[in-house]
Structure 1
Amino acid sequence: MTRTLDLSLDRLRPSRDALLWTGLLVNTELVLTFAYLLLADVTVTEWRYLVFPFVWINVSAWALLRADPVADSRRTRYIGAAVAVGYFLLLASVGGLVKPGGSHALGWRIAWLPPGWGPAVLYTGSAVNLSLMPYKLVGYLTLAYLVYDTVLDTAGSAVSGLVGVVSCVSCAWPVVATLAAGVAGTGTGVAAAASEWSYTLGTLAFVLTVALLRWRPTVGGRF
């Protein structure tokens, strides 16, 4: 069956409304950040760590505004939902949102971290530990939704399998940092470098993944 690829950049071009909402979002983030710095009386040594969460949130907002999943059938929608849920749970586990519980059950609490990092909802229990940082929660939900959109759009084609591999890039860097710290030792320069750059590389990978999931080859004919 003949298939055509649409590589148009229109999928990435923001609309006027999207730009207006983005401007409002960025202004709100700036106000919240300066308010936090004044009220918390903290000293910032690495400003990029204040920016990273907003990159995740803003890119997520842009992607969600442009996403418009359309299913050919109810079966395809169910399959897409199952893949998206499984993918989100994978990201939540690898990204540290969900971890196995421990011996101490402290219950629910809120960590007042810088905007984007917090306010983080934390739960410590005997069965499971939760660390729901806003930027990660929003980012992982966005990736899962885009994977859902992708499954619907590429149902029946080999492209969906390739996207599944590409989309996992965004959760790989925390794993690399953890393994580096475990193998090399937490006091070594290798572990320190891996930990320091994991957020930068993870953010770049997240942006790239969102772009690839939005600007993907569309299949004109389906098997």
Structure 2
Amino acid sequence: MNPLVTRFSVDSPTEYGRTAVLALGAQSALALAYLAATDAGLAAPRTLAIPLVWITAAAVGVRHAGRPESGRGVLALAGLVGAAYAIILGWVTGAVGLSSGVATGLDVVLLPPWWGPMVRYDGPLVSLFLFPYRVIGYGALAYLVSLAVRDVAEYGSSAGVAGLIALGSCASCALPLVAAVGSTLGGVGLGFGTTPAAAGGTYLLATVAYVLSVAVLTVRPRVGGS
């Protein structure tokens, strides 16, 4: 039997940096266009920086994560797991929930760039509070989780150690959930009011957890025969 060889999928720092710079440039251009086209205002630098960090991390992760080859069945399973994870994140953070009972319909709030335009929807069954940067961030994280699932499906049955390593890398998936639960227990919440305020530790904790999750799921171990 061929020995197992473990390696990590890591691109050069220059490539990571190039993607980050391009992502920041695109975000800045879109933010300026948003400000010019709407009456949205600015916020404190730290508040404005949080969405930039999330979206930049998302862009780097999606661009540089390894993509194992998988069959249609595995792709479907991985997609379902990723989608379920995104819904769970949305539920825990309050972005997705049950309807309040009063179907007020769709509303758009012009918050500072990437906090807004924030979409609020209260329908007969569900309610949504969607910040653009969180939609992008959770979408990217769900995609990276699906890639980790594909790793487990590819290596788990034929090489148990490989499956355990890949599954272990997905332990970071719980970090944003921990941050979200911590913020709820602390009584701060993730702030769905009309004025985002990132002065407290809640947003910073969630941001650190998010970046760490993306990093671990992007630089995943790979195992194969030599």
TM-score of the superposition, structure 2-length normalised? 0.79
Q: Quick one: structure 1 residues 173 and 19, their matched pair in 2 at CA, closer, same or farther if it must change by over 3 Å?
A: closer
SS of 1:219's equivalent in the other structure is strand
Check if 1:102 corresponds to 2:100.
yes
* Equivalent residue for 2:125, pick from 124, 127, 145: 127
How far, CA to CA, are the matches of 2:32 and 2:223 in structure 1?
43
Deviation at 1:196, TM superposition (A): 1.5
Deviation at 1:201, TM superposition (A): 1.1
Deviation at 1:203, TM superposition (A): 0.5
Q: Quick one: structure 1 residues 93 and 13, their matched pair in 2 at CA, closer, same or farther if it must change by over 3 Å?
A: farther
Deviations 1:53-77 (CA, angstroms, capped at 9, x unpaired): 1111111122222245333322221
Q: Quick one: structure 1 residues 180 and 17, their matched pair in 2 at CA, closer, same or farther if it must change by over 3 Å?
A: closer
Number of aligned positions between the proteins: 207
How far, CA to CA, are the matches of 2:215 and 2:13 in structure 1?
7
Deviations 1:107-136 (CA, angstroms, capped at 9, x unpaired): 001011111111011101242110111011
Q: Quick one: structure 1 residues 201 and 33, their matched pair in 2 at CA, closer, same or farther if it must change by over 3 Å?
A: farther
Check if 1:208 corresponds to 2:212.
yes
Aligned to 1:5: 6
Deviation at 1:12, TM superposition (A): 6.0
How far, CA to CA, are the matches of 1:60 and 1:8 in structure 2?
17
Q: Is the 8 A contact 1:100 1:128 kept in 2?
A: yes
Aligned to 1:178: 184
Deviation at 1:35, TM superposition (A): 4.9
Q: Is the 8 A contact 1:11 1:214 kept in 2?
A: no
Overall identity of the aligned pairs, in %: 31
The within-5 A match list for 1:21-100 is 21-22=22-23, 24-28=25-29, 31-32=32-33, 35=36, 39-40=39-40, 44=43, 46-67=44-65, 69-100=67-98
Q: Is the 8 A contact 1:154 1:219 kept in 2?
A: no
RMSD: 2.9
How far, CA to CA, are the matches of 1:118 and 1:76 in structure 2?
36
Deviations 1:123-157 (CA, angstroms, capped at 9, x unpaired): 01242110111011000000000111122233211
TM-score of the superposition, structure 1-length normalised? 0.80
Deviation at 1:165, TM superposition (A): 2.4
Q: Quick one: structure 1 residues 201 and 29, their matched pair in 2 at CA, closer, same or farther if it must change by over 3 Å?
A: farther
Q: Quick one: structure 1 residues 63 and 12, their matched pair in 2 at CA, closer, same or farther if it must change by over 3 Å?
A: farther
Counterpart amino acid of residue 21 in structure 1 = L
Deviations 1:162-188 (CA, angstroms, capped at 9, x unpaired): 233211202321211111229xxxxxx
How far, CA to CA, are the matches of 1:137 and 1:199 in structure 2?
15
Q: Quick one: structure 1 residues 22 and 125, their matched pair in 2 at CA, closer, same or farther if it must change by over 3 Å?
A: closer
Structure 2 gap ranges (5+):
157-162, 189-198
Aligned to 2:172: 166
Counterpart amino acid of residue 79 in structure 2 = A
Q: Quick one: structure 1 residues 41 and 120, their matched pair in 2 at CA, closer, same or farther if it must change by over 3 Å?
A: closer
Deviation at 1:13, TM superposition (A): 5.1
How far, CA to CA, are the matches of 2:143 and 2:74 in structure 1?
14
